[in-house]
């Protein structure tokens, strides 16, 4: 380091403490980056890479960005998962002796973003931390720095349960101990694709003890300490807006693992990874950012407590019954800004006058909101209004102090109202009267010199001046005007009188601006004291917004209030898929009933591809989730049990990240369902066993059905193409066959999308291929082959094999062999020899079928 210039040495010392960050090093009006940071930043940000002499043997790579436009560059890096350390000049260059002192004033990471332009309005930006307590027990902490929200969940079911829980929330960054198992760290990076940060300090300082006063378990307190220490280390500023930690009692909510949340597309679609096309997209009728975030949290954690669900239904019903008043509520809510994030910005110290003006406007709408809620006849809705605190003291403070439309900048004045501070009023009086005097002086000089074009102007370099064109200079009296600046076509002068007034005016303006900034800082500190009440108000308004949104979407889409039973009965009349029916704008969606009594735990669904089996399964799960969230559901009527868990295996998807095939993913998801489900759960299994050979797949499918029937007893929808399985209804008394209707018309299949009792007659696979417009010659050939196969005498052998009741355990290898001393008949010996000589790997499927037919015929000959 000794060979580098003092400034580069300073950079390297600071960079050594932030090795995993881009260091934005302030030099004048630019943030500069050097060495590897410069090379990487030029690539990621697509900016020019240059170099400079740093005192070493070679020139140093360098790139830079203007400090005033840094926000967009920082956003770009953070969205890609990088961290950015902001290193500012903390010493006035004019008084610095040697190199200007610089320090990192903030670390911006994916989980600690505070700038509004970097945040999605209706999305929380969670930072999470993991602390391992025992082999199977972990503590997860969630913190949204932008809103101050802190939550903790204790996971006692092992690492896979941790991943399922984390998948339930949009996590971008994870704080962990350096000692966390490497395998776990790899899972977090590969499977959840989060940025990892490290913090081993868990002791909470006395100033923040109030955040954990309601936590009794010391392990949980230390787990939050890891998160808090990371926030303090990276943010280096006040965290007064952090809310006390809330425990997430997971047993109070429906369990949705990562597979179910993904397969059901609750908050984002599988293909596009976006909101459009998800259940959230359909039911989100919120009008505030706060309400949008609360809705997403509710959807991720459906309730198990019937009383709590019914309370939400009562509120939704109250809003539905009074359309005009509900629309008035929506209009009021549209004028309310994001109180949660405004509170965070106040505490963080980066709030400006316009932000506080938004806060004032929002508070001004609270009395209107209370009045509108009083118009409802529903008592529960009235109670929502009673819970709203308009914070009149804070509104009065902001109303008295801020002008109506303040500027963004805090350094240029023009923020504080006249009459708020007497000293500021004196400065403004002097400044305004001084300018009036300047205007009067200009008129006086024009008259005395008879120069019509004479004018008095101002700039920051020379101050006030009298400007006269060259053609009129001879009209100026001698001795009074002192030349100050020469221009091409004019001269600028100053007089003793103007100079004296200039000093008074500029002093008043400078002091006025300084005092305004000081008053605004004091105002910001006063607003900080209202943060807890603001956060409570934000929560109440968010709840009102979500409930009115449920009422609006229910009325718009003809949803109805469901009821619940404790007998495990499912009864849905004319149920619909909420997303698909919205996408199908021509009202062509075909509704279907779902009926499952205590006598029927399993519905075995058959029918052709594209007929609607998966849609039928998904719509049951989405209806259950909507009901337990507190929203009305898409059907004519619904009577449901309260499901504690939902498990799904729908759609084929290889897990390329972990190198697992479609079949392995199928088996893992099926295992997860049957080992974690209870009799109060809902299981959806679509085409289990299709990822392997026919016999293997069929045997596995039957074994899974039998296991669920005999051991799990959960309500289960199981779709299959193995028609041989439909005979299981004779052996399993709680299994019922249903199928999706399809009819053949003039050689083409017509999907009716109607569910009926009984098994399907055909699979219509070739017809589906025809709809997909495969080549005509291919379709014709497939039809010929199908007819040949259907004529074989052993077509029913698969059914016979699967119906064997002794098929209770599967094996990839033969476990029993015939005894060596068993005598083999001569004819059988010839058949065995023929079988052994077959080269199956070289044969086409058709050749194999023909050879099998020949051997079968030979075996049956007398």
Binding residues for ATP: 607-614
Q: Which of 688, 709, 705 is nearest to 697 (CA)?
A: 688
In three-state secondary structure terms, 262 is helix
Known binding-site residues equal 607-614
The DSSP code for 276 is: T
Name the one residue in this structure whose structure tokens are 């008879």. Answer: 450
Q: How far apart are the first and last CA of the chain?
A: 96
Collapsing DSSP states into helix, strand and coil, what is residue 788? helix
Residue 538 near residue 290 (C-beta atoms within 8 A): yes
Q: How far is CA 100 from CA 30, 33, 640, in A?
A: 15, 17, 70
As a whole number of angstroms, the distance between CA 66 and CA 48 comes to 13
Per the CB < 8 A criterion, the answer to whether 102 and 12 are in contact is no
Question: Distance (Å, rounded) from C-alpha 498 to C-alpha 487?
Answer: 20
Q: Counting Cβ atoms within 10 Å, is residue 833 exposed (0-12), middle (13-18) or buried (19+)?
A: exposed
Whole-angstrom Cα Rg for the chain: 37
Task: Please give the structure tokens belonging to residue 444.
Answer: 């006086």
How far apart are alpha carbons 284 and 299 in whole angstroms? 10
Q: How many CB atoms lie within 10 A of CB 261?
A: 20
Check: CB of residue 201 under 8 Å from CB of residue 155. no
Phi, psi of 820 (to 5 degrees): -60, -30
Compute CA 562 distance to the chain's CA centroid, rounded to the nearest angstrom: 28
Give the torsion sign (CA, 503, 506, 510, 513): positive
Question: Alpha carbon of 87 to those of 36, 52, 115, 236, 464: distances in Å?
Answer: 17, 20, 17, 12, 38
Q: 32: which strand partners?
A: 25, 64
Cα torsion for 783, 788, 789, 790, to the nearest 10°? 90
338-545-319 Cα angle (round to 5): 160
Q: What is the dihedral of CA 583, 587, 588, 594, to 10 degrees?
A: 90
């Amino acid at each position: 380091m000794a060979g580098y210039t003092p400034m580069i040495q300073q950079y390297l010392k600071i960079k050594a403490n932030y090795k995993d960050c881009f260091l934005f090093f302030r030099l004048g009006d630019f943030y500069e980056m050097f060495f590897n940071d410069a090379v990487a930043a030029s690539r990621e940000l697509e900016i020019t890479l240059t170099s400079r002499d740093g005192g070493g043997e070679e020139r140093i790579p360098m790139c830079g960005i203007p400090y005033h436009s840094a926000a967009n560059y920082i956003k770009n890096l953070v969205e890609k998962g990088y961290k950015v350390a902001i290193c500012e000049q903390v010493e006035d260059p004019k008084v610095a002796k040697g190199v200007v002192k610089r320090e990192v004033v903030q670390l911006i990471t994916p989980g600690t973003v505070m700038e509004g332009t970097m945040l999605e309005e209706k999305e929380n930006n969670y930072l999470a931390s993991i602390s391992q307590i025992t082999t199977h027990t972990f503590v997860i902490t969630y913190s949204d720095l932008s809103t101050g929200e802190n939550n903790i969940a204790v996971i006692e079911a092992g690492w896979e349960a941790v991943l399922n829980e984390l998948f339930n929330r949009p996590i971008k960054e994870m704080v962990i101990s350096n000692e966390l198992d490497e395998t776990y760290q790899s899972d977090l990076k590969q499977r959840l694709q989060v940025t990892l940060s490290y913090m081993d300090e868990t002791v909470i300082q006395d100033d923040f003890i109030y955040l954990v006063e309601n936590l009794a378990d010391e392990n949980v307190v230390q787990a939050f300490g890891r998160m808090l220490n990371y926030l303090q280390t990276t943010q280096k500023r006040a965290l007064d807006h952090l809310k006390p930690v809330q425990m997430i009692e997971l047993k109070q909510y429906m369990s949705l693992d990562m597979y179910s949340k993904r397969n059901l597309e609750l908050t984002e679609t599988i293909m596009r990874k976006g909101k459009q096309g998800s259940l959230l997209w359909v039911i989100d009728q919120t009008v505030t950012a706060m309400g949008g975030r609360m809705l997403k949290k509710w959807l991720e954690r459906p309730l198990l407590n019937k009383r709590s669900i019914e309370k939400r239904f009562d509120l939704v019903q109250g809003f539905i019954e009074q359309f005009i008043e509900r629309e008035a509520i929506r209009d009021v809510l549209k004028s309310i800004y994001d109180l949660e994030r405004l509170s965070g910005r106040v505490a963080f110290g980066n709030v400006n006058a316009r932000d506080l003006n938004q806060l004032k406007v929002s508070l001004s709408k609270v009395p209107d909101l209370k009045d509108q809620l009083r118009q409802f006849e529903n008592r529960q809705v009235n109670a929502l209004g009673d819970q709203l605190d308009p914070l009149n003291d804070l509104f009065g403070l902001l109303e008295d102090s801020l002008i109506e439309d303040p500027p963004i900048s805090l350094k240029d004045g023009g923020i504080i109202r006249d009459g708020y501070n007497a000293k500021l009023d004196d400065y403004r009086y002097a400044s305004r009267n001084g300018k009036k005097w300047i205007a009067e002086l200009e008129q006086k000089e024009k008259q005395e010199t008879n120069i019509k074009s004479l004018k008095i102007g101002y700039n920051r370099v020379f101050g006030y001046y009298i400007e006269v064109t060259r053609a009129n200079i001879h009209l100026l009296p001698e001795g009074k005007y002192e030349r100050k600046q020469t221009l091409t076509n004019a001269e600028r002068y100053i007089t003793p009188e103007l100079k004296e007034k200039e000093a008074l005016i500029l002093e008043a303006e400078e002091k006025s601006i300084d005092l305004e900034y000081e008053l605004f800082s004091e105002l910001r500190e006063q607003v900080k004291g209202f943060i807890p009440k603001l956060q409570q108000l934000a929560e109440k308004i968010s709840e009102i917004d979500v409930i009115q949104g449920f009422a609006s979407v229910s009325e718009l889409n003809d949803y109805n209030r469901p009821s619940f039973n404790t007998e495990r009965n499912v009864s849905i009349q004319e149920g619909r898929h909420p997303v698909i029916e919205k996408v199908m704008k021509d009202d062509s969606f075909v509704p279907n009933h779902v009926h499952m009594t205590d006598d029927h735990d399993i519905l075995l669904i058959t029918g052709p591809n594209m007929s609607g089996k998966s849609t039928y399964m998904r719509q049951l799960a989405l209806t259950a989730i909507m009901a337990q969230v507190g929203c009305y559901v898409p059907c004519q009527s619904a009577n449901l049990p309260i499901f504690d868990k939902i498990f799904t295996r729908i759609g084929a998807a290889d897990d390329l990240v972990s190198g697992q095939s479609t079949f392995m993913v199928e088996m893992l998801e099926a295992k997860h369902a049957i080992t974690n489900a209870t009799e109060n759960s809902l299981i959806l299994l679509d085409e289990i066993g299709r990822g392997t050979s026919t016999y293997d797949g069929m045997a596995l499918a039957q074994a899974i059905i039998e296991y669920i029937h005999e051991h799990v007893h959960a309500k289960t929808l199981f779709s299959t193409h193995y028609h041989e399985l439909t005979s299981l209804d004779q052996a399993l008394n709680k299994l019922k066959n249903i199928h999706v209707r399809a009819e053949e018309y003039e050689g083409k299949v017509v999907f009716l999308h109607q569910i009926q009792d009984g098994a399907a007659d055909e699979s219509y696979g070739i017809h589906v291929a025809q709809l997909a417009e495969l080549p005509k010659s291919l379709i014709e050939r497939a039809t010929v082959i199908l007819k040949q196969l259907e004529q074989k005498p052993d077509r029913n052998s698969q059914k016979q094999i699967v119906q064997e009741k002794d098929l209770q355990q599967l094996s990839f290898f033969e476990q029993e062999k015939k005894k060596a001393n068993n005598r083999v008949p001569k004819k059988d010996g010839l058949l065995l020899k023929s079988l052994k000589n077959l080269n199956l790997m070289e044969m086409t499927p058709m050749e194999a079928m023909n050879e099998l037919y020949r051997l079968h015929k030979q075996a049956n000959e007398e």
